[in-house]
Amino acid sequence: MLPSACGPGAVAPQNPLTEAMRGIHLRIPLRPAWTTLTHSFLLHTVAIHQGMLNSKIKSLMISATACTVLGASPAAHADDLTEDGGSWAQVVAEGSLGFIDPNLQQGRLWLEGQSRWDDNWSHWYQGMARVALGYSLSERATVWMGYTFLPTQNVGKPYYAQQDLWPAFRYVLPTDFGTFTFRTLLETNFIVADSVRVRPRQMIRYMRPFDFEPRLALVAWDEFFVRVNSTPVGGQSGFDQNRAFLGGAWTFNPNFRTELGYLNQYIDNATHSAETMHHLIMGSLFINF
């Protein structure tokens, strides 16, 4: 429920988690019997996550933080880069389905809404509504099946409403130096009737409370998107975008937490010929029930 030297013309290192996850084929069934998820997929995914944490997490966090602060992203070229400012606001609610029936205690419900502004805060360009049902395989691992609706009105372009269907897997790994969350999500994007795009996305998130005030925490995350296929509207296959966040969190109680920080969104265009970088202020409210 967070990408060595960064700057214009520099190539940042690829996301190690993304590279490791390329070999994984997400096979989450679309039927209610979540427990039929193969043991091999789960064990293989968890093993990769933990192995990468032991060997590469320090370099990942350093490079992701550096690229976020300096506003750099993979393969950004100054001559082809358009930049602007904006903001995102989101509310995320997640909890057990046990409030419906005690027998559904391991079932999960995920509700999320977002509103997004760009063009230096002068233009609302996108909303987002997301709902998903999940099943807790353990205290750390959860599988999901969800739907996303994204009404979009980009500057100078016609309105459209993208709809997504996706399975997802999330693994939470507490450590002595903070909590890591890994989320793999495989989107099928229905952009227009004849343009269906497959877009996997991989997130790694880090959260560490401060010793002097445990309610206050450092939050950093990175999420990498790839287009599997080429479509007329969804663009050519390959790299799609990267999002890197750095900020803070305040936990009011076990049920409510807020986060505020800087989000750098780097987007490659449909033909991989130009890039856009959004410098965003992102505020979030997380609700547990």
Q: DSSP string covering 214-247, please?
A: EEEEEEEEEEEEEE-S-BTTTBSSEEEEEEEEEE
Say yes or no to pLDDT of 69 above 60. no
Average the pLDDT over 16-32 and give the result: 39
CA distance 286 to 267: 26
Q: Which residue in this structure is represented by tokens 């609706």?
A: 149
Say yes or no to pLDDT of 19 above 60. no
Q: CA dist 15 to 11, 57, 74, 174, 244, Å?
A: 12, 11, 9, 21, 11
Average the pLDDT over 258-281 and give the result: 97
Least confident of 151-155, 193-197, 253-257, 269-273: 193-197
Question: What's the confidence (pLDDT) of residue 34?
Answer: 40
Q: Domain count for the chain, please give it.
A: 1
Say yes or no to pLDDT of 53 above 50. no
The helix/strand/coil state of 19 is helix
Question: What's the confidence (pLDDT) of residue 102?
Answer: 94
Question: What's the confidence (pLDDT) of residue 237?
Answer: 97
Residue 20 lies in a domain: no
Question: What's the confidence (pLDDT) of residue 193?
Answer: 74
Residue 158 identity (one-letter amino acid): P
Q: Which two tokens stand for residue 106?
A: 């391991």
Domain around 206: 78-288
CATH label of the domain that carries residue 138: 2.40.160
Residue 169 lies in a domain: yes
Residue 193 lies in a domain: yes
CB-CB contact of 164 with 189 (8 Å) = yes
Residue 111 lies in a domain: yes
Residue 284 lies in a domain: yes
- Reference 22, options 226, 221, 268; nearest CA is 226
What are the phi and psi torsion angles at 18 (to 5°)? -65, -45
Least confident of 25-29, 87-91, 106-110, 147-151: 25-29
Bridge partners of 199? Answer: 187
End-to-end CA gap in the chain: 13
CB contact set of 235 (below 8 Å; sequence gap of 6+): 197, 227, 268, 269, 270, 271, 272
Average the pLDDT over 223-233 and give the result: 95
The helix/strand/coil state of 28 is coil
Residue 222 lies in a domain: yes
Average the pLDDT over 36-56 and give the result: 45
Average the pLDDT over 188-213 and give the result: 95
Compute the mean pLDDT over every residue in the chain, rounded to the nearest whole number: 82
Say yes or no to pLDDT of 2 above 80. no
Average the pLDDT over 226-255 and give the result: 96
Of residues 91 and 70, the one with the higher pLDDT is 91
Say yes or no to pLDDT of 288 above 80. yes
Question: What's the confidence (pLDDT) of residue 51?
Answer: 52
Residue 242 lies in a domain: yes
Say yes or no to pLDDT of 145 above 70. yes
**DSSP 8-state symbol, 14:** P
CA distance 151 to 146: 17
Question: What's the confidence (pLDDT) of residue 192?
Answer: 83
Question: What's the confidence (pLDDT) of residue 79?
Answer: 62
Residue 5 identity (one-letter amino acid): A
Residue 43 lies in a domain: no
Question: What's the confidence (pLDDT) of residue 80?
Answer: 83
Question: What's the confidence (pLDDT) of residue 194?
Answer: 76
Question: What's the confidence (pLDDT) of residue 196?
Answer: 95
Average the pLDDT over 181-207 and give the result: 95
CB contact set of 287 (below 8 Å; sequence gap of 6+): 91, 92, 93, 94, 95, 255, 256
Say yes or no to pLDDT of 38 above 50. no
Question: What's the confidence (pLDDT) of residue 16?
Answer: 41
Q: Which helix (H) or strand (E) holds 61?
A: helix 39-70
Determine whether 213 is exposed, middle or buried from the number of CB atoms within 10 Å of its CB (0-12, 13-18, 19+): exposed
Say yes or no to pLDDT of 158 above 60. yes
| Diameter over CA atoms, the chain | 59
Say yes or no to pLDDT of 279 above 50. yes
